[in-house]
Amino acid sequence: MNKILKKIINDTKTFANQGKVATYIPELSKMNKNISGIVTIDMNNNIYSAGDTDIKFTIQSMSNIVTLLLALMDHGEKVFDKVGKEPSGDPFNSLKRLTNKNTDKPYNPMINAGSITITSMIKADNKEERIARIINLIKDLTGNDNIEINMDVYNSELKTGDKNRSIAYFLKDKNIIECEVCDVLDTYFKQCSIEIDCFDLANIGATLANDGISTITNKRIIPSKYATIAKAFMFTCGMYDDSGEFAVEVGIPAKSGVSGGIFCAVPNKMGIGVLGPSLDEKGNSIVGIEMLKLLTKEKNLCIFN
Ligand code: GLU
């Protein structure tokens, strides 16, 4: 498997030239667009890797799955009173549907409006407790106790996050979020700035692929039905407004973030974490998608085969 992964890294390197790193969060523009890494973890916790797997980067909207899981564990499926289940087909930070007076809730928990709403629903007495609960669940899902926030990225998001502020104030105006806008945004910017690596991403994927049970400790982290819901959203909405294309071309549940990471949960088979900071116009890692195309073909991972 390590040999296969090494060949995949070599065969996809040049795709980095076709995109660019995210710049709208200035700190993210410092990433080297030519690095790439891939890690897979199977259900027996066999770990395989190739490329730049020692690089740390921020989780960005891949954290939306973690916050969705927390909100589901707090409230059950009442979560969907406030957030829908449908792909939007719009860019992740679009305000378009939110400003429409007939829209009574964000389309799904993966777009920014849905994710900010989900974050507001996580039970906590204050914002410190809320982010601590998110970090603790990431520690459990990754089996990594050294999960921290990258404060440079957090400050960069704070400085440039006006689109997210607009979204949050619309949500507040429509009574979709009930707590203080500033507090919710602080948690949202912090959750996006949590640092992880490809191993952490593969571990999150492996736990979800394994029905919510950690492949490291064999302990249940997530109730089975919520692990299933998470994988469903990854499949339908995880790759921004390219989720349909990815479903047809690759065919596995995956969630992408603008740092260039993608994690995947192939049910009962494996978790995958990839990094490639060069993004396409939708916000997905170009090299990451190419790596996943080759791996899923080689290992016959498409969930419909
Ligand atoms: N922090 C980013 C934002 O709010 C996350 C975007 C993403 O990864 O989809 O714009």
CA-based R_g, the chain, Å: 18
CB 265 within 8 A of CB 209: yes
Please name the residues in contact with 145: beta carbons below 8 A apart, sequence gap of 6 or more.
Answer: 139
User: Closest Cα partner for 117 from 83, 141, 164, 144?
Assistant: 83
pLDDT at 91: 84
Total Cβ atoms within 10 A of residue 124:
17
Ligand 1 pocket, residue 266 CB under 6 Å: no
pLDDT at 102: 79
Do 2-58+196-298 and 61-192 fold alike per CATH? Answer: yes
Classify the C-alpha dihedral 273-277-279-283 as positive or negative. Answer: positive
| 24, 150, 258, 282, best to mutate for ligand 1 pocket (most atoms within 8 Å of CB) | 258
Q: What integer is the mean pLDDT of 208-221?
A: 98
Atom of ligand 1 nearest to the CA of 93: 10
pLDDT digits (tens, 9 = 90+) for 4-24: 999 999 999 999 999 999 999
Ligand 1 pocket, residue 193 CB under 6 Å: no
Residue ranges per domain, the chain?
2-58+196-298, 61-192
Q: Strand 195-196 and strand 37-42: pairing?
A: unpaired
Average pLDDT over all residues of the chain: 96
Query: At the topology level of CATH, where does 2-58+196-298 sit?
Result: Beta-lactamase (3.40.710)
Please name the residues in contact with 144: beta carbons below 8 A apart, sequence gap of 6 or more.
Answer: 138, 196, 199, 200, 203
pLDDT digits (tens, 9 = 90+) for 12-69: 999 999 999 999 999 999 999 999 999 999 999 999 999 999 999 999 999 999 999 9
Ligand 1 pocket, residue 93 CB under 6 Å: yes
Strand partners, 42: 270
Ligand 1 pocket, residue 296 CB under 6 Å: no
d(CA 277, CA 34): 7
Q: What's this model's pTM, rounded to 2 decimal places?
A: 0.97
What are the phi and psi torsion angles at 279 (to 5°)?
A: -105, 155
End-to-end Cα, the chain, rounded Å: 21
Q: Which CATH architecture has domain 61-192?
A: 3-Layer(aba) Sandwich (3.40)
pLDDT of 263 > 90? The answer is: yes
Q: Indicate the pLDDT class of residue 183, thresholds 50, 70 and 90.
A: very high
Q: Indicate the pLDDT class of residue 93, thresholds 50, 70 and 90.
A: confident
CB 288 within 8 A of CB 262: yes
